[in-house]
Structure 1
Amino acid sequence: MDVIVMGGGLMGSAATYFLARRGVKVTLLERNRVGTGATVASFGNIRRTGRYLPQLPLAHRSRALWGEAEKLLGRDVEFRVTGHIRLVFEEDALGDMRKFIADARPWGLDVEELGANEVRARFPHLGPDAIGASWMAEDGCGNPRLICPAFADAARALGAEIVEGAEVRDVVRTEEGFSVETSQGTFSAERLLNTAGAWGARLAARFGEEVPLTAMGPQMGVTEPLPHRIVPVVGVWTRNPSDNYFRQVERGNIVFGGGAGRPEVDLETGHAKYEPARLPVQLRGLLRMLPSLADVSIIRTWSGCEGYVRDSLPVMGESETTPGLFHAFGFCGHGFQLGPGVGDVMAELIATGKTETPLHDFRIGRFAAAA
């Protein structure tokens, strides 16, 4: 068996590694450089709190792999078990948090609830007006700039072919499988894995599978270096769709996102931009979470092109129109934690025809069934 993986973000690079680890002949095609798309723009959050419940088996599998990443890949990708706290400021959000904690327990996720006094005692710099929080000690963060090249290099060491600068010109089904014409030549394989991110829906549509996906750009920023005082990743429970989040990296900078919505991105160029007018909105939300940021300088802002599916769930699994075609795209800005697990699951599915991790809710045919 041989496989072409289209798209060298975290999903594609991880899948390439796990396919090669299973002895599959695999070629990864990336139009730019591995890991320079949505992954490098990511916040780096590795959290399971607040996820869609049937996604938790995948999240658990991925969290276990994050814990093994340095051993598997032969380098430090800055995975750190810092813990993950989500603050609560409104009563309705407190109810939402408590419901999630109760509902997640049968799915193997034991989230701790913290009262207002406990938040202030354990995390004195955070959320002075918070009425509570959730705490997940085993979650944390990783470095988005390191993880994809690490997976790609480890896959190459196992015999995978990594082709960068390969602009795709055509993809066709053949008697033998698939043929992909690129600026770096034509590649053929029995099977094709679509990990093309925000462009994944376009590839799926070529094979008669429509996915309602919109490309949008997260609004991200980073502060000047500060004394290191904030260990956990910090988020917020809210019914506001533009929730804030931040973390302090080991070098002292505060990396932040959310709080300002996500502008749409033109897929023809794929150029996502940070919109400066959104910064004051972000900062107001961040100051509620961390008041000491009031006099801190912002040194850089950025964005990236992410794919958001209409129902906020990814597309994963086999094509329902084309034998040999598989999909893993549209992770709606929530894919960083899932990445290693997605790669492992897709490799298992492609190599064996089945997977122990349930994917039914993420099947591509759900949109045709709803039409």
Structure 2
Amino acid sequence: MKNNHADVIIIGGGIIGCATAYYLSKAGSSVIVLEGSDHIGNGGSSRNGGGVRQSGRDPRELPLVMYGIKNLWPTLSEELEVDCEYHQDGNLRLGKNEEHAKILTNLANKARACGLDVRMIDGDEVRRINPYLSEEVTVASWCPTDGHANPLTTTLGFYKMARRLGAHFITGEKVVALKKIKGHVRQVVTPNNVYEGDQVFVAAGLASRQIAGTVGIDIPMTSSLIEALVTEAEPHMFDQMLGTAEADFYGHQTKHGSFVFGGSSGLEPFRKDNGTPITSSITAPCICRGIIKYFPDLADAKIVRTWAGWSDKSADGVPVLGTVEEVPGLVLACGFTGHGFGIAPAVGDQLAKLMLTGKTDIDISALHYNRFKAKI
């Protein structure tokens, strides 16, 4: 690898970029990773709810995350030589009424059609699995192979191992444009440098749209604000990942005892934020009110901090993955819509194989950029 040349130029130093850099480097490819901020994993990659789940996902992305949970997550801590704090203790998606039951049943039926072990259970069975849940919970979907992990240590693990294997990471290097040579995208332009690679992998979250736009590719996605909170450490209560039918909150208890929860108030699209993802005085209390209804024992838990960030929300809520027919050499991985962490190892593994061999083990054609078409 020359100073500014590599087999693959990766744009974005989040967990997707770091995981892909690791799997490429492991296979012997030379890799340069460009991160626009001063820190690896600066966005949602290191600060999210930590869900490693299959249940509740769109059937188009389900085979990919199922592959990762079966083949990659169980040995990831050993492979990356870092404690990813991976727990595979199941996921309860909770409901309180008939409308919630319909939502959860529909999701469970779609998942079962893809071969996932997920079933509907009543309130009594919910409380046998997790006795801390209130009597308001009358129904849930239960996926025993779901779980959660630590986003910070997992992202760090991929980064450290990719570096050890030869990947070159450059922070504070904001990409302003891509350039083609003889119809093939090869160059990545920053304010101070030009990098060249045989393939360019764009995994820059929201910035992916602007970057791909410089070669005529417009990815239909927009920003979506997500807020989260963490409590002080509590005695160990349970290990399941949690969610709800209406997605009003989600989260888990960490290895250290604190709870990490995410959620929304429903007013996020109308917030006056001046372009900055800041927390609101409305959202955290809203999340807490929701949590207390499900978990009365957490009513007195103290909130240590809250934070907010942008997710790259795609037009149809599932990621944009793979090559782009109109621009040879360009590979996309963006539009994860707030649930990219759990799927990240599989995305890195499979898109590395795509760049190395031209094909993947898992069919990702339903996630290609070319799926976006006008309604008529």
Percent of counterpart pairs with the same letter?
33
Is contact 2:178-2:215 (8 Å) kept? no
d(CA) in 2 for partners of 1:317, 1:150 = 24
Matched, 1:360 2:365: yes
Is contact 1:7-1:30 (8 Å) kept? yes
Matched, 1:117 2:157: no
Change (3 A) 1:96 1:225: same
d(CA) in 1 for partners of 2:196, 2:167 = 14
Is contact 1:87-1:127 (8 Å) kept? no
**RMSD of aligned Cα (Å):** 2.2
Q: CA deviation at 1:290?
A: 0.8
Q: Work out which of the residue numbers 191, 197, 204 in structure 1 matches 2:205.
A: 197
For residue 222 of structure 2, give the secondary structure of its aligned residue in structure 1. strand
For residue 197 of structure 1, give the secondary structure of its aligned residue in structure 2. coil
2:356 is matched with 351
Bigger mean CA offset, 135-144 vs 3-12: 135-144
1:168 is matched with 175
Change (3 A) 1:121 1:82: closer
Q: Work out which of the residue numbers 61, 67, 92 in structure 2 matches 1:85.
A: 92
1:41 is matched with 47
Q: Deviations over 1:187-213 (max 9, x none)?
A: 111110010111111122222222221
Q: CA deviation at 1:2?
A: 0.6
Change (3 A) 1:184 1:341: farther
Question: What does 1:151-166 correspond to in 2, within 5 Å?
Answer: 151-166=158-173
Matched, 1:59 2:68: no
2:3 is matched with none
Q: Residue 80 of structure 2 aligns to which amino acid in structure 1? A: L
For residue 231 of structure 1, give the secondary structure of its aligned residue in structure 2. coil
Change (3 A) 1:193 1:102: same
Q: CA deviation at 1:215?
A: 1.2
d(CA) in 1 for partners of 2:339, 2:14 = 14
Change (3 A) 1:283 1:362: same
Q: Residue 51 of structure 1 aligns to which amino acid in structure 2? A: R
Q: Work out which of the residue numbers 293, 301, 319 in structure 2 matches 1:296.
A: 301
d(CA) in 2 for partners of 1:359, 1:58 = 8
For residue 54 of structure 1, give the secondary structure of its aligned residue in structure 2. coil
Structure 2: gaps spanning 5 or more residues: 1-5
Runs of 4+ in 1 over 3 A off after TM superposition: 261-266, 368-371
Residues matched between the structures, number = 367
Is contact 2:284-2:306 (8 Å) kept? no
Q: Work out which of the residue numbers 16, 33, 42 in structure 2 matches 1:28.
A: 33
Is contact 2:97-2:139 (8 Å) kept? no
Structure 1: gaps spanning 5 or more residues: none
1:311 is matched with 316
Q: CA deviation at 1:302?
A: 0.4
Q: Work out which of the residue numbers 133, 142, 146 in structure 2 matches 1:135.
A: 142
Bigger mean CA offset, 287-296 vs 176-185: 176-185
1:180 is matched with 188
Is contact 1:88-1:236 (8 Å) kept? yes
For residue 166 of structure 2, give the secondary structure of its aligned residue in structure 1. coil
Q: CA deviation at 1:314?
A: 1.1
Question: What does 1:273-284 correspond to in 2, within 5 Å?
Answer: 273-284=278-289
Q: Residue 337 of structure 1 aligns to which amino acid in structure 2? A: G
Q: CA deviation at 1:293?
A: 2.0
1:208 is matched with 216
Q: CA deviation at 1:4?
A: 0.3
Q: Residue 48 of structure 1 aligns to which amino acid in structure 2? A: Q
Q: Work out which of the residue numbers 314, 325, 331 in structure 1 matches 2:330.
A: 325
Is contact 1:308-1:330 (8 Å) kept? yes
Change (3 A) 1:184 1:229: farther
Change (3 A) 1:327 1:265: farther
Change (3 A) 1:48 1:289: same
Change (3 A) 1:217 1:92: same
Q: Deviations over 1:148-185 (max 9, x none)?
A: 22112111111211112212233212247422233563
d(CA) in 2 for partners of 1:183, 1:79 = 39
1:9 is matched with 14
d(CA) in 2 for partners of 1:270, 1:110 = 41
Q: Residue 198 of structure 2 aligns to which amino acid in structure 1? A: E
Q: Deviations over 1:303-359 (max 9, x none)?
A: 122100121111111112110001000100011110001111111111111112121
Change (3 A) 1:186 1:343: same
